[in-house]
Structure 1
C-alpha cells in the first residue's frame, strides 16, 4: 500500500570539498521491514556539520532528525500505516540512501515512533531526534549509566549531574532523570536557568562561575555517583569527573579524554554513540569501524514504544524550536549559524514540505 511517489527527490548531499549542496537523487527503495517517509520538517544537530566538514565521505545524504508522513510500508510492516505522522532519527552523513535532509527518507518501521494526534507539530516532533535518543540511551541503557528507567522511579534520594543542561541532549536528560525520580543538578548560562528548572532541574549552576564545581558539590552534599557530560569538551569532562564521588560513573557524548583518566582513575568513564541504536555497522570519524549492536537497537525500539504515551501525557516536552526559512536550500545557513555558536536553548528547524 503506498501513495503516489516520484522516482527522484531533492536531498542535501555531502561533497568532496567538505561542503554540501542540494542534488537530485533516487528516492530510496525500502526493504520488507522498512517504511518510506515523506519528510515534512527537520531539526539540526552539530553532528550534521561534523559529518559534512570533518569526517564524512562525499555522496552521503546529510541530516539526522526528521518528522513526516508514511507514504509506503514494507510487506512485513503492520505497526505503521500509510498516512501516519511519524518522527525519528537517521544516521545522516553516514549512508547514501539514509538521511533526513531529503524529501523522502527510509527507516526501519520500529525505529520511528507515531506522533499522537493533536500533540506536536512536525517541527516539534523533528526536535525529538538525536538529543532525545542520546539522553535516553545514556541514562537508562544498562551498559551506560543504567538508571532506574521511566516509568519506574528511584526509591531513595539520589543526585544526577547533567553538564550542559541547556543543550539538546541536556534538556531531554533533565526531563527524563526527573521523571525517574532523581534529583538533578545541571550547568547552564544564567539566561537558561529558568528553562532548565521548568523541565525538572532541582539546582542550576552557572558553569562560568569561578566556584561552579564547589557549588555543585555543596548542593549535592558531594554525593553524586553518576554524571552525563552533554558537552564533552576536555574541560567539561574534567569538571564532571571531579564532581563525582569516589567510584562514580561518567558518560560522555564524545570520546573520553586522557585527562579524565589521569585525574580520576577511580571513575568509570565511557562515551556513547547514539548511532549504534540504529543496529547497523558504520564508519565513524572516517576511520573507526563500529559494528552493529543488537542490544543498543533493542533498547531503543523498546524506548520508542514508550514515547507516544510520554508525549500525549505531557511528560516529555520537545526542545524549544527556532524556525529558519529556506527549506532544503536553506539548511547550510542554519548549519553555519550553529557552527558559529549563535544558538542556545533552542533547536533550529526547517520546514521541507507541507
Structure 2
C-alpha cells in the first residue's frame, strides 16, 4: 500500500495537476475578462504583466481529485471537475469582495479595488460560465450529471450568500439560520467538490452522496474556522486586517452565537453592533473580547471538532480506497485546525 502523503505535498500535487488546465481554461476568456481573472488568481499584475501572487491553497480542487481516487478512479479523469469547482469558488470570491467591500485578498488589492466594481462582477460571471463550459467540453460520460450537481451547489451558494447579505441589515439573526446560511455559502461547494470527484472517478450516485456529505460537513467546519480567523486571525496569514469581520459588523457564526447567548457580554456586544458610529480599534478589541466572554469562541471551536468527526464518519461510510482516503483525512484535519 502506498503511504499517504502529507497535506503540503498533496496540495502541491493537486496544483501541478490542475493548474495548467485551469490556466488553459482562463486563457479562452475574452481579453478584458482574462486580465482581471489572471490578476485575481495571482498570475498577472494590474498591468497584465506576469506575476507570482498567492493563488490560495486550492483545497477544493484537491478534494475533487482525491475523491475520484477514493471512489476507485483516476485523478486525471476528475481534472475538469477540479477546474470547474475552482472557477466557481473564485467567481464567488470576486463577488464576495465587492459585496463586503474588502480591499485586500491574499496580501494584494482586490480585483474590484483595482479594476472597478462592474468589471470585477463581470469577471466573476465569466468564471461561472466557464466552469460549466469546462464540464460540458470534457467529454466525460458523467459530465451531464456533474453539471447538474455543480448547478445545484451554485444555487445553494448564492442562497447562502444572499442570506449573509440580508443578515447585515437585520438586528436579530437566529443561530440556526446562521448555520443554514453557512451550509449553503461554504458547505455546498466543498460537498459538491467531493461528489464531482466521485462521479468523474466512476463512483455510483450512492458513493458520491456519501462523499458529498463528507465534504459538506467539512465545508461547514471550514466556515466556522474562517469566521474565527475573521476575528482573531493573524493578518500575515489571512491577508486581511485584524478584526476585519467585526469592522464590517458581519453576523458571522461566533458573533451570532454571542448575540444569542443571553449573557451580559452578548448583550453588550449587541449594543455595540447596533451603534451608528464607525467602530474604532478600541471598539473592535472590545467586541472580540465580548465574543470570547460570551463563550462563542470556545463553542465555535467545539463545533468544528464535532463537524470534523462527522465528516470522517461519512468518509468511512463511502468505503473509500485507503490511500486517497487517508489523504482526504489529512486535508480535513488541515481545514479544521488551520486556526491553531
Asked if Structure 1 and Structure 2 have the same fold, meaning a TM-score greater than 0.5 normalized by the shorter chain, the answer is no
**Higher helix fraction (1 or 2):** 2
**Higher strand fraction (1 or 2):** 1
Higher RCO (CA 8 Å, separation ≥ 6 residues): 2
TM-score between the two structures when normalised by the length of structure 2: 0.28
TM-score between the two structures when normalised by the length of structure 1: 0.27
